């Protein structure tokens, strides 16, 4: 039995009620009643599970390496129980794939009441993140490819060529929950190409993901962690050359990449520019609690135009999409004499090729649907 704070009903999420809902859904389904989750304006796709249960295996097929988050699991269960209680199907659609229909209207009031009843800002933040992820998981099942996050008919997986990333580099895609499972997200290309152990997804506000990431950072030490962010006003923001091209005595912000026993961890903020400031602040706050210093070392790149800018222009010259930031970093590292033998330029080319494939897939879909292939200026603030 679980009480939703601020709500007028008590949700019983016991196994017996969930089992009853499954049996009831099957009976109603046989008579033509639509009580399964649907994606509005999309063709029907087979679902992973008839009862809506999401397994660890399914969760990881979307990209994460963590166990299925407990808060996300609870929200998924609550949504399924509420579906049975209201006798109304869970539907997703419209701008952003939001919950639709009578169920969406009721659930919106309910989750807002739950959010307002939480007195701890951290709990509110984690509830927000978990709900975003839960709804996106349910709304994308059977509609999006679990690897490339594109609609099934636009799947580009067969065109992506895997490539090994140099073993002393590990990317962390620190992704805002509103960008999780977005079709035009470019960060997903990194683990598609390099694998999840070389490019790891960490969803902003999901405790299990953040714990895995910070455990790795603690083992590596502060000197082996860098965040890619064009924060030119910070005293701890350096160029790639300043960071890795000089000795520690010449520049206190420098670091060595020639120690075979150490991996350098690069954090890529994967969200809109409006959200990136909050994401960076959370990283700094956690860094202060771990190392006693909130000045997390940042790297600023000599960013150039990305292929994705054709669809999503950026607000200023030093801002680019996530995949393009990784390309820029690998390219600049490849120009350093001590790293010239590690074929970092070829690894950058592999991501650039993937970016072009993604652009072609997205462009083809927009043209097929009769939509413009460019965005208005007011929507040009995304970096993912």
> Looking at the predicted structure, is the pLDDT value of residue 114 above 60?
yes
* Percentage of the chain modeled with pLDDT above 90: 55
**pLDDT score of 230:** 73
**pLDDT score of 134:** 95
Cα(19)–Cα(335) distance, integer angstroms: 60
**pLDDT score of 303:** 61
The tens digit of pLDDT for each residue in 20-75 reads 444 344 333 433 323 233 333 333 344 455 456 899 999 999 999 999 999 999 99
What are the φ/ψ torsions at residue 216 (nearest 5 degrees)? -70, -40
Cα(189)–Cα(147) distance, integer angstroms: 9
Terminal CA-CA length for the chain: 39
Please state, rounded to an integer, the average pLDDT across all residues of the chain. 80
Tokens of 253: 């912000």
Q: How confident is the model at residue 369 (pLDDT cuts 50, 70, 90)?
A: confident
Please report, for the chain, the start and end positions of each structural domain, with discontinuous segments joined by +.
Answer: 2-140, 152-379
Cα(255)–Cα(225) distance, integer angstroms: 10
> Looking at the predicted structure, is the pLDDT value of residue 268 above 70?
yes
> Looking at the predicted structure, is the pLDDT value of residue 360 above 80?
yes
Distances (CA, A) of 193 to 185, 364, 382: 14, 22, 22
pTM: 0.81
DSSP characters for 137-182?
A: HHHHTTTB-TTT-SBGGG--GGGPPP-PPPTTEEEEEEE-GGGTT-
Tokens of 53: 């249960």
> Looking at the predicted structure, is the pLDDT value of residue 263 above 90?
yes
Q: How confident is the model at residue 166 (pLDDT cuts 50, 70, 90)?
A: very high
373: region left, alpha or beta (phi > 0 left; psi from -120 to 50 alpha): alpha
* Percentage of the chain modeled with pLDDT above 70: 72
The tens digit of pLDDT for each residue in 333-343 reads 999 999 999 99
Closest CA to 103 of 73, 133, 83, 81: 83
225, β-bridge pairs? 265
Q: How confident is the model at residue 296 (pLDDT cuts 50, 70, 90)?
A: confident
**pLDDT score of 99:** 87
The tens digit of pLDDT for each residue in 301-330 reads 876 555 555 555 554 445 688 999 999 999
Q: How confident is the model at residue 96 (pLDDT cuts 50, 70, 90)?
A: low
Closest CA to 5 of 127, 81, 116: 116
**pLDDT score of 319:** 66
Q: How confident is the model at residue 239 (pLDDT cuts 50, 70, 90)?
A: confident
Exposed/middle/buried for residue 378 (C-beta within 10 Å: 0-12, 13-18, 19+): exposed
DSSP tag of 263: -
Other Cβ atoms within 10 Å of 257 Cβ, number? 19
228, β-bridge pairs? 268, 299
**pLDDT score of 87:** 85
In the chain, the largest separation of any two C-alpha atoms, in whole Å, equals 76
Cα(129)–Cα(175) distance, integer angstroms: 11
Looking at per-residue pLDDT, the higher value among 226 and 230 belongs to 226
Spatial contact of 321 and 383, defined as CB atoms under 8 Å apart? yes
Cα(80)–Cα(2) distance, integer angstroms: 13
**pLDDT score of 9:** 35
- Strand 2-3 vs strand 10-11: parallel, antiparallel, or unpaired? antiparallel
> Looking at the predicted structure, is the pLDDT value of residue 163 above 90?
yes
**pLDDT score of 86:** 86
The tens digit of pLDDT for each residue in 115-139 reads 999 999 999 999 999 999 999 999 9
């Amino acid at each position: 039995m679980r009480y939703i704070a601020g709500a007028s009903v008590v949700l019983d999420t016991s196994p017996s009620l969930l089992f009853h809902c499954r049996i009831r859904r099957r009976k109603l389904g046989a008579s033509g009643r639509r009580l399964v989750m649907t994606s509005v304006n999309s063709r029907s796709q087979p679902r992973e599970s008839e009862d809506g249960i999401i397994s660890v295996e399914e969760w990881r097929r979307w990209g994460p390496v963590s166990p299925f988050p407990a808060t996300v699991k609870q929200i998924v269960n609550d949504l399924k129980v509420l579906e049975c209680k209201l006798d109304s199907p869970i539907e997703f659609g419209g701008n952003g794939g939001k919950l639709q229909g009578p169920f969406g209207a009721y659930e919106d009031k309910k989750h807002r009441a739950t959010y307002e009843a939480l007195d701890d800002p951290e709990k509110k933040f984690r509830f927000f993140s978990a709900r975003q992820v839960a709804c996106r998981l349910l709304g994308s099942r059977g509609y999006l490819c679990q690897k490339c996050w594109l609609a099934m008919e636009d799947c580009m997986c067969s065109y992506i060529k895997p490539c090994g990333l140099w073993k002393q580099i590990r990317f962390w895609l620190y992704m805002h929950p509103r960008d999780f499972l977005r079709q035009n997200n470019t960060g997903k290309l990194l683990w598609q190409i390099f694998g999840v152990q070389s490019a790891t997804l960490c969803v902003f506000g999901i405790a299990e993901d953040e714990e895995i990431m910070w455990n790795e950072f603690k083992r590596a030490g502060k000197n082996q962690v860098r965040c890619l962010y064009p924060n030119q006003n910070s005293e701890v923001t350096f160029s790639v050359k300043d960071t890795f091209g000089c000795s520690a005595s010449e520049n206190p912000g420098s670091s060595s990449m020639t120690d075979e026993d150490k991996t350098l961890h690069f954090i890529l903020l994967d969200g809109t520019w409006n959200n990136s400031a909050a994401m960076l602040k959370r990283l700094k706050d956690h860094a202060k609690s771990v190392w006693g210093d909130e000045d997390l070392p940042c790297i600023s790149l000599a960013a150039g135009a990305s292929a994705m800018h054709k669809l999503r222009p950026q607000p200023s010259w030093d801002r680019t999409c996530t995949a393009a930031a990784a390309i820029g970093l690998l390219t600049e590292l490849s120009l350093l004499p001590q790293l010239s033998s590690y074929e970092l330029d070829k690894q950058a080319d592999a991501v650039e090729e993937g970016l072009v494939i993604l652009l072609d897939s997205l462009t083809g879909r927009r043209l097929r649907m009769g939509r413009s292939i460019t965005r208005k200026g007011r929507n040009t603030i995304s970096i993912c």
